[in-house]
């Protein structure tokens, strides 16, 4: 083997090693990002279930005041860092939207709670008997 052949073989080996290190590095980063996303989703789901259970157990006066309900919920269930929670009246004024969002990833969980469906009070559409 000549010196030129040895140098070419060395360049090929070193470039293939670098390429494989880059692939492994990218694989590790992708795996870690996927793991973080799954953990974030589980944390968001846990906060959603706790909030939902609290809303199902609480006694609410009608008409529903979403701001007062949100303040009570924030006092009862503090949030994990990086998660925001909002309770907003529905445009039809029949219920409140519970929205949980992870600020860094943008993962979002929403559910509509109506007064009638949650057993808080009678629906405004029911007729008096």
Tell how far CA 83 is from the center of its chain.
7
Kindly list the domain boundaries of the chain, sorted by start residue: 3-118
**Predicted pLDDT of residue 32:** 87
Model-level pTM?
Answer: 0.64
* Residues 6 or more apart whose Cβ sits within 8 Å of residue 113: 55, 95, 96, 97, 98
Would you write out the chain's pLDDT as a tens digit for each of its 129 residues?
787 777 777 778 787 777 777 777 788 888 888 888 888 888 888 888 888 888 887 777 777 777 888 888 888 888 888 888 888 887 777 778 888 988 888 888 888 887 766 766 654 444 444
**Predicted pLDDT of residue 127:** 42
| Neighbour count for residue 102 (Cβ, 10 Å) | 19
């Amino acid at each position: 083997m000549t010196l030129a052949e040895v140098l070419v073989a060395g360049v090929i080996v070193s470039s293939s090693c670098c390429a494989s290190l880059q692939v492994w590095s990218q694989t590790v980063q992708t795996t870690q990002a996927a793991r973080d996303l799954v953990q974030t989703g589980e944390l968001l789901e846990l906060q959603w279930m706790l909030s939902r259970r609290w809303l199902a157990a609480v006694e609410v006066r009608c008409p529903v005041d979403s701001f007062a309900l949100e303040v009570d919920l924030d006092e009862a269930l503090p949030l994990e860092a990086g998660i925001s929670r909002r309770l907003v009246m529905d445009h039809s004024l029949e219920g409140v939207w519970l929205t949980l969002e992870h600020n860094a990833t943008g993962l979002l969980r929403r559910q509509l709670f109506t007064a009638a469906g949650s057993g808080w009070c009678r629906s405004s559409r029911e007729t008096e008997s």
